[in-house]
Structures are given as structure tokens and as C-alpha cells.
């Protein structure tokens, strides 16, 4: 298997993390975003949108980090824990995948794009979305270790990377003890690999 992306991308990290949690050997191919490698062939032959990450598994080529999580869980997790087969649990996992593609992407991920990469986004609007999301998550995680059910699922993996690095975008996790505990539970999973931290955002005492 080959995973194409960059270390500072949370979308890439969620795929890289899950590959490691499943103990699946793979090559990590760094894409030269600075020079636009992702916007021209041969990369656009793998993903016409010119976005990372991309996973190659034999004859299968997949783009979109959440799609990659679903594929890996469906193909390589015989236990069904990472992507539950129960209809209600599966729907709840899908809910959090949608949140990862929506509120996480437009909240903590977008705020971090501004501070880490200088992206032209509305930083204050992104921080507001992040805070509103975290307020809801904090309540939902009350008395729970995981977002869905009694064990980790791809819902947790989809949410982890950008939420853990929200302080880099100027969004503090200090007011959210349940979220911080949940992040610690993800970090304690066997095979966990961290996403590199940047120097952007809040000072350590503000995190």
C-alpha cells in the first residue's frame, strides 16, 4: 500500500493513523504541495480534485480521508469494531464522519489553515464554528470514552487529528476536560502515531 500526503495534513494523518492502528504495512509518499505536485499529472490521475490524501492498495486507488477509513475498516477489520455492522451504531459513526467533513473541516481545521499555512480563510468564523462544535462534543462525551459505543471506531479517528491540534489554530482545549480525556484515550491506542506539531497558535500555557 502507498499513502500520498504530507505530515502536517490532518486529513493525511487520520489515514496514516488508521493504517498504523490496523498494523498495515504501507509506504508514505510525501507530495510536494509547495510546488503544486498535487494539481497536475500524474497525481491528478489518482485524484482529479488534486487533494490529499490518496491511498493505493493494489488495483484500488482511493481519495478522501473518510472514504479511506471506511475502505480500510471494511476490508481489513474482521472484528467489525472500527465500523460497526449494527445499523444504529453504523449510522452514528456516519454522523461523526459527516461532522468531520463539515464542522471539523470548517472549524478547527480551517482555523489551523490560517495560522499554519496562511490560508485566506475567515479565522474568527472558523474559531466560532470550532467552539460551537466543542461545546456540543463536550456534552456528548460526558461519561463516555468514545464517540460511538464502548470502543474506538473510525468516528474517533476521523475527529482526532484536527481537534487535537486545534490550539495551533488559536482554539483552546482548556475548557473541555471530556474532549481532552477522549484525545488521551485515542493516544493510548496500540499503534498510535502522532501528527507533527507546528509552532503556530496558542502558547503552551493557553492550550
Q: What average pLDDT does range 36-44 have in this prediction? A: 95
Query: What are the residues facing 63 on neighbouring strands?
Result: 54
pLDDT score of 72 more than 70: yes
The answer to whether 155 and 96 are in contact (CB under 8 A) is yes
pLDDT score of 207 more than 60: no
pLDDT score of 66 more than 50: yes
Mean pLDDT computed over every residue of the chain: 95
Q: What average pLDDT does range 67-75 have in this prediction? A: 98
Q: What average pLDDT does range 151-177 have in this prediction? A: 97
Determine the pLDDT at residue 199: 80
Is the overall model pTM greater than 0.85, yes or no?
Answer: yes
When pLDDT is cut at 50, 70 and 90, the band that residue 198 belongs to is: confident
When pLDDT is cut at 50, 70 and 90, the band that residue 51 belongs to is: very high
As given in the structure block, the three cell numbers for residue 150 are: 464502548
pLDDT score of 14 more than 60: yes
Q: What is the pLDDT of residues 127-144, one digit of tens each?
A: 999 999 999 999 999 999
SS (H, E, C) 135-192: HHHHHHCCCCCCCCCCCCCHHHHHHHHHHHCHHHHCCCCCCCHHHHHHHHHHHCCCCC
Specify the 3-state DSSP secondary structure of 120: coil
Determine the pLDDT at residue 206: 54
pLDDT score of 204 more than 90: no
b/e map 101-128, b = 16+ CB within 10 Å: bebbbbbbbbbbbbbbeeeebebeebbe
As given in the structure block, the three cell numbers for residue 108 are: 478547527
> Rounded to whole angstroms, how far apart are CA atoms 107 and 125?
8
Determine the pLDDT at residue 205: 44
Amino acid at each position: 500500500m502507498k499513502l500520498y500526503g504530507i505530515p502536517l495534513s490532518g486529513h493525511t494523518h487520520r489515514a496514516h493513523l488508521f493504517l498504523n492502528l490496523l498494523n498495515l504495512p504501507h509506504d508514505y509518499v510525501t507530495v510536494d504541495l509547495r510546488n503544486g505536485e498535487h494539481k497536475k499529472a500524474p497525481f491528478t490521475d489518482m485524484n482529479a480534485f488534486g487533494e490529499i490524501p490518496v491511498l493505493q492498495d493494489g488495483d484500488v486507488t482511493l481519495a478522501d480521508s473518510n472514504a479511506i477509513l471506511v475502505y480500510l475498516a471494511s476490508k481489513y477489520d474482521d472484528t467489525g469494531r472500527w465500523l460497526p455492522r449494527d445499523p444504529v451504531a453504523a449510522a452514528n459513526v456516519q454522523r461523526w464522519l459527516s461532522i468531520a467533513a463539515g464542522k471539523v473541516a470548517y472549524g478547527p481545521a480551517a482555523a489551523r489553515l490560517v495560522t499554519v499555512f496562511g490560508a485566506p480563510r475567515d479565522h474568527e468564523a472558523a474559531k466560532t464554528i470550532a467552539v460551537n462544535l466543542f461545546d456540543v462534543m463536550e456534552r456528548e462525551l460526558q461519561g463516555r470514552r468514545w464517540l460511538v459505543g464502548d470502543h474506538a471506531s473510525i468516528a474517533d479517528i476521523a475527529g482526532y487529528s484536527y481537534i487535537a491540534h486545534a490550539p495551533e489554530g488559536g482554539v483552546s482545549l482548556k475548557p473541555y476536560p471530556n474532549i481532552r480525556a477522549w484525545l488521551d484515550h485515542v493516544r493510548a491506542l496500540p499503534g498510535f502515531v502522532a501528527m507533527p506539531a507546528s509552532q503556530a497558535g496558542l502558547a503552551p500555557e493557553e492550550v
